[in-house]
Amino acid sequence: MKRKTNLWCMLLIALGSLQANTIFAGESEQKTIPDPVVSVTQHQGKFNGVRMDYTATAGETPLKNKEGDVTAQIFSVSYVKDDVKDTSKRPVAFIFNGGPGSASVWLHMGVFGPKKIVIPSDAEDDGAAPFNLQDNPDTVLDVTDLVFIDPVGTGFSRVVGKGETKDYWGVKEDAKSIAQFIRIWLRENGRWNSPKYIGGESYGTTRSAALIEELEGRWDDVSINGILLISTILDFTIDTYDQGNELPYMVQLPTMAATAWYHKQVETDLSLAQWVDAARNFALREYAPALLLGSSLQGEQRDNIRSKLAQFTGLSESYLERTNLRVNYQRFNKELLRDEGLALGRLDSRFKGVEYDDAGEYPETDPSFYGIDGSYTAALNHWVREGLQFNPEREYTIIGGVTQWNWSLQGEGKRQPYLNVAPYIGKAMRGNKDLRVFNAAGYYDFATPLLGAEYALDRNGIDPQRVTYKYYEAGHMMYIHHPSFQQFLTDVRDFIQAR
């Protein structure tokens, strides 16, 4: 009888424990902070003819709030050269992509990492696996260590513990978190006195400008040697087709001219670079003043502008007149090859897509994105999980995991006429005589048009003598075009070595 009583008591205790666990499961799960996972592997490679041993570290770095609570974990992959005696002579570059909401997969697996995915060079769809993942002997690992960062909500990076997404999903919030990660990385790796570079693609250039303010805008500066701007968007006025805003039409024109040239829709004997120069000159000196005249643009002057627009864009004068001489890139990408039943890509207008409806105003989707995403997703997961032995039981978020972005620089409730982060670069240059900027642009990029980058960098207090401009016969991700891939890495290597 005593034995039965003990068994009954044990059962009651177990049931009570189960009930308590059920009641508090949500609370415990919320407070549980997973231990950061880190995988360290050793590798050898030959980069730009230099053979070297290097250490790859794929892992999570905890971020803490002011109270010392862990609120997020940043996933990163670092490639660091072994046996460096004097790290003050060995640069380190912190690399990320854009979105906002994109992981660093594109720059990691497309151009800078020791492994690269090779897809068709001439704007063809990447198809399905198996994809062509190769060693990357052209990467700049011979001249700099590389750290690829996935912001919170991308890749394997996530909010944990008491953290909330609103603490990280915004222009300034995001920049603060990346700055915190960089300071942690420098401390843990003993690299405070190394030359430092930051670099991003697309929104990653926006992040770079906001980040330079967080790194150099305090009394404990992290002074940066160079910023790599790849497919640049700094002043968002150029990306807003609101009535009365004429800037987008002006800055998109050279890209339209390049696209029409590529698809043989214009008559000219000029090279691509010469044709774009002519279009840039027309956009700045004739088209922009004409747009500013508004309804006062009449008669012969209007006819002249419309005729030249048709020459540069390959669109008919009748269509241009119906659009009031203002064609946004979505309309252009649907109209240029409409007679062939094809629409063009936004990220790379070399790409052509067959669409269900040829009569629509805008393309159904972007053929230059669905033409590359499968290969990059497979390459990243294969390399990180198999090659770097970081293999958690959760998905790697390529793009799209971030929502409700806070675009304000002024603080909640304060008016912000438009978003422009370029002044941060000008301010940083005034406080750091060694800071230089590298700007890379693709001729066929409608997402971040080349003249838009020039417009932002030609003003806002930025020293033109310390800005390097490079152009490539490709689109937003210029490195998928094989000749541009080679030239891009040569240009970046030269920029880093020129310090």
Domain count, the chain: 2
SS3 per-residue string spanning 221-247: CCCCCEEEEEEECCEHHHHCCCCCCCH
CA distance 374 to 113: 18
pLDDT score at 15? 32
Examine residue 422 and state whether it is found in any structural domain, yes or no.
yes
Q: Which domain holds residue 349?
A: 241-370
* β-strand partners of 52: 45
Q: Mark whether 225 and 79 lie in a shared domain.
A: yes
CA distance 108 to 133: 12
CA distance 15 to 18: 5
pLDDT score at 21? 36
Which residues of the chain are modeled with pLDDT < 70? 1-31, 371, 411-416
Q: Mark whether 112 and 250 lie in a shared domain.
A: no
* 8 Å CB contact between 369 and 394: no
Contacts of residue 226, defined as CB under 8 A and 6 or more positions apart, other chains included, come to 197, 435, 436, 437, 438, 495, 496, 499
DSSP annotation of 283 reads I
Domain boundary among 327, 346, 370: 370
Q: Mark whether 364 and 416 lie in a shared domain.
A: no
Contacts of residue 274, defined as CB under 8 A and 6 or more positions apart, other chains included, come to none
472 alpha carbon, distance to own chain's centre? 17
Examine residue 25 and state whether it is found in any structural domain, yes or no.
no
Examine residue 17 and state whether it is found in any structural domain, yes or no.
no
Q: Mark whether 266 and 137 lie in a shared domain.
A: no
* 8 Å CB contact between 463 and 429: yes
Q: What is the pLDDT of residues 289-315, one digit of tens each?
A: 999 999 999 999 999 999 999 999 999
Contacts of residue 204, defined as CB under 8 A and 6 or more positions apart, other chains included, come to 96, 97, 98, 102, 107, 230
Q: Mark whether 159 and 76 lie in a shared domain.
A: yes
pLDDT score at 412? 63
Examine residue 15 and state whether it is found in any structural domain, yes or no.
no
Q: Mark whether 218 and 267 lie in a shared domain.
A: no
Identify the CATH number of the domain in which residue 418 sits.
3.40.50.1820
Examine residue 485 and state whether it is found in any structural domain, yes or no.
yes
Total number of residues shown for the chain: 499
CA distance 359 to 342: 11
Q: Mark whether 82 and 171 lie in a shared domain.
A: yes
Q: Mark whether 232 and 248 lie in a shared domain.
A: no
Q: Mark whether 75 and 155 lie in a shared domain.
A: yes
pLDDT score at 125? 73
Q: Mark whether 338 and 398 lie in a shared domain.
A: no
